[in-house]
């Protein structure tokens, strides 16, 4: 198994979140992109405003590294027009993967038609431009029933509106990694959440993201059936090393 081809190396902190200047944070972003190229990871996941930089670096290195970005991150509360504007800009700047934060609060409030509409329209935009689309459902904000229902809603929306050949390009993704939980509860992928997603999103693929720090954790997720892993510890995982990185 080439675990590197499962890994979406991730750096999504803004300068203020990292407690750094813009220049200092930009150095971290550049280093993350360079490392992803050198290590042969599947993808580098960065903020939308860094996509053009990543594209320039990938082309210069003659690399096959994919470039991914997040849309309406991290809360997913924006209207569909805002989501689409951000997605189209990312596409123009060279993004390969668009990880949309699903409006999970609207889903929890029973606004099912709104959620269905954004899934349909945003997925159409992604697929029409030959992009991979991922829907982040933020499992830490949902109970078990909601995880099952939202995974199934995304699956059913895709199956009802797109061809089978497109299914592999539309993922259900666990987490942003930025959701604030109480009492130190996990804010990302857990085994139980991933199992529920796999069981209810199939035949759509699942991406596990948030809190995966070790090789053993990554292998367990892959054995369960996930197709991609989002992590800020990609190099540690690939080299079977431990990390104290808390992000």
Q: Which residues are catalytic?
A: 99, 173, 207
Listed in sequence order, the residues at least 6 apart from 183 whose beta carbon sits closer than 8 Å to its beta carbon are: none
What tokens does 115 get?
Answer: 């959620």
Q: Which helix (H) or strand (E) holds 208?
A: strand 206-209
Structure token pair of residue 151? 């995974």
Three-class SS state of 8: strand
State both tokens at 179.
């959701």
Please say whether the beta carbons of 98 and 132 come within 8 A: yes
Instruction: Check: CB of residue 200 under 8 Å from CB of residue 148.
Output: yes
């Amino acid at each position: 198994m080439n675990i590197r081809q499962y890994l979406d190396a991730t750096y999504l902190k803004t300068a203020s979140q990292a407690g750094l200047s813009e220049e200092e944070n930009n150095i971290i972003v550049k280093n993350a992109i360079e490392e992803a190229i050198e290590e042969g990871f599947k993808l580098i996941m960065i903020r939308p405003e860094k996509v053009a930089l990543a594209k320039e670096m990938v082309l210069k290195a003659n690399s096959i590294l994919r470039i991914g970005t997040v849309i309406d991150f991290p809360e997913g509360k924006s209207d569909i027009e805002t989501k689409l504007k951000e997605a189209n800009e990312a596409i123009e700047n060279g993004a390969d993967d668009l990880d949309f934060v699903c409006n999970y609060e609207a889903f929890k409030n029973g606004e099912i038609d709104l959620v269905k509409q954004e899934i349909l329209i945003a997925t159409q935009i992604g697929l029409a431009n030959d992009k991979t689309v991922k829907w982040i459902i933020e499992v830490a904000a949902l109970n078990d029933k909601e995880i099952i229902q939202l995974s199934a809603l995304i699956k059913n929306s895709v199956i009802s509106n797109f061809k089978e050949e497109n299914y592999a390009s539309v993922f259900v993704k666990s987490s942003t990694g930025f959701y604030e939980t109480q009492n130190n509860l996990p804010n990302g992928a857990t085994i139980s959440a991933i199992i529920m997603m796999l069981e209810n999103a199939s035949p759509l693929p699942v991406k596990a993201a948030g809190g995966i720090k070790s090789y053993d954790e990554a292998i367990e997720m892959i054995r369960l059936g996930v197709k991609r892993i989002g992590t800020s510890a990609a190099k540690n995982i690939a080299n079977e090393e431990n990390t104290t990185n808390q992000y």
